[in-house]
Structure 1
Amino acid sequence: MPPPPARSYANRTTCPVRPCKRPAPLPSPFLGYHPQLALRPFPAAVRCTSVNAAIVHGLPGPYRLHDGDLVSIGCDASVDSWAGDATVSFAAGTPSPANPVDPKLMETTRQALEAGVTAAVVGARVGDSAHTVGRDRTDAPISRR
């Protein structure tokens, strides 16, 4: 059986997605992105590769995934002056009683997503939606493995 995958993919400088009519991978739009309030530029091509307790913006490391790990992968794309991103979360391999994915965590994140989408209305700022996602979730009954 091969070893579980490492999270080193995020070290790459290009994403291996090959859009129609493009012969080569596109450079990551967020590698080196440096917002004003950040201490340093973002060092990875895949914007978010978060595992278990890492909430967002996980960085590459030597950790190898195990059955039941909660994995969230965020992908980004940009075209001209437009940028967008999407994230998917899933259990790696097969969760087991020894290493289950916390259903309360999954439900809390689903509720946070719904709240953020509901807050994304014409005239609102992105920060309004982000605040709504985080509000009332810091005390959610989730495990912190």
Structure 2
Amino acid sequence: MIFKDRGIEIKTREQIISMRAAGLVVGRTLELLRGEVKPGITTGELDAIAEDAIRSAGATPSFLGYHGFTGSICASVNDEIVHGIPGDRVLAEGDLISIDCGAIVNGWHGDAAITVGVGQAAPELLELARICEESMWQGFAAARLGGRLSDISAAVERHVRANSAYGIVEDFVGHGIGTAMHQPPNVPNFGKAGKGPKLVEGLALAVEPMLTLGKQDNHTLEDDWTVVTDDGLAAAHTEHTFTLTPQGPWVLTALDGGEAKLKELGVTFGPLAD
């Protein structure tokens, strides 16, 4: 393992493949939860399903106990942007829920998030979630070995601005990931291209746009975790962990490695053989 300047962790090929194992646990858990989201279920019940799935796969939940956090997932509903604590909240028809999940396998982390409508959610909420997810994929599509970190950030912002008037949350950003869940460098969802650390082999990043239906201004509730919009309007959050190989991006937390979506965007898919 090599450490570059700025404290950035660079992984070997074998270590990236180990991260894929953690990523698959996260990806499978989120797909399971996507199918369980329905009116009447509590966020605590979703959390229990997630913890069981993670542990049954031989992994450890990244979030549980992290700085005192009490859940295996973050479950953020409607105006909650991130870090919602799972509990007795009952999901209702038309809600929008963002589920963030992390898992550790043999010391390596995976981290991803989805936003899902509950029952028949309003079209404006589903569109918010769609643009959020699409902007993340545009970030991956802009990443090239030898490029700069802010190429990702600029692509995320460009897609959001071209397709909506949504707020882009600036207080919370993506991050490096590997032997710890949160590592340098930060990955903002806004900015000009061509700035920041160089994108090199062995760098793993969690890219996670957070968009709001109104303004991006926010505050943290008295639980010291849950971040909500100041105007009470809905938010969406999407995340995947990815890396770059000589062939192209490899999305470690996507079940297909990102192949289908990257090909749709005209980007060469870059998996490593295990």
Give 1:60 deviation, angstroms: 1.9
1:142 aligned to which of 196, 213, 220: 213
1:88 is aligned to: 114
Give 1:80 deviation, angstroms: 1.7
Normalising to structure 1: TM-score of the pair?
0.63
Question: Structure 2 CA distance, aligned partners of 1:130 and 1:115?
Answer: 14
Question: Structure 1 CA distance, aligned partners of 2:90 and 2:139?
Answer: 31
Question: Unaligned stretches of 5+ in structure 2?
Answer: 1-38, 150-174, 177-183, 192-208, 215-232, 235-274
| C-alpha contact (below 8 Å) 1:69/1:100 kept by paired residues | no
Moved over 4 A (4+): 118-125
1:8-23 equivalences under 5 Å are 8-9=44-45, 12=48, 15-17=51-53, 18-19=56-57
1:130 aligned to which of 187, 208, 214: 187
2:137 is aligned to: 114
Question: Is the partner of 2:83 in helix, strand or coil?
Answer: coil
Question: Is the partner of 1:60 in helix, strand or coil?
Answer: coil
Question: Structure 1 CA distance, aligned partners of 2:93 and 2:123?
Answer: 8
Question: Structure 1 CA distance, aligned partners of 2:213 and 2:127?
Answer: 6
Question: Is the partner of 1:105 in helix, strand or coil?
Answer: helix
Give 1:108 deviation, angstroms: 3.9
Question: Is the partner of 1:68 in helix, strand or coil?
Answer: coil
Question: Structure 1 CA distance, aligned partners of 2:62 and 2:129?
Answer: 28
Give 1:116 deviation, angstroms: 4.4
2:271 is aligned to: none
Question: Is the partner of 2:187 in helix, strand or coil?
Answer: helix
1:7 is aligned to: 43
Give 1:82 deviation, angstroms: 0.7
Identity of aligned residues (%): 29
More helix by percentage:
2
Question: Structure 2 CA distance, aligned partners of 1:77 and 1:141?
Answer: 27
Question: Structure 1 CA distance, aligned partners of 2:128 and 2:100?
Answer: 18
| C-alpha contact (below 8 Å) 2:97/2:115 kept by paired residues | yes
2:62 aligned to which of 29, 43, 47: 29
RMSD of aligned Cα (Å): 3.4
| C-alpha contact (below 8 Å) 1:73/1:88 kept by paired residues | yes
Deviations 1:40-91, CA, capped at 9 Å, x for gaps: x222122x11111111211124321111111122222111221002222211
1:43 aligned to which of 66, 70, 79: 70
| C-alpha contact (below 8 Å) 1:29/1:77 kept by paired residues | yes
Normalising to structure 2: TM-score of the pair?
0.37
Question: Structure 2 CA distance, aligned partners of 1:83 and 1:71?
Answer: 23
For 1:33, the aligned partner's letter is Y
| C-alpha contact (below 8 Å) 2:76/2:85 kept by paired residues | yes
Give yes or no for the alignment of 1:69 onto 2:95.
Answer: yes
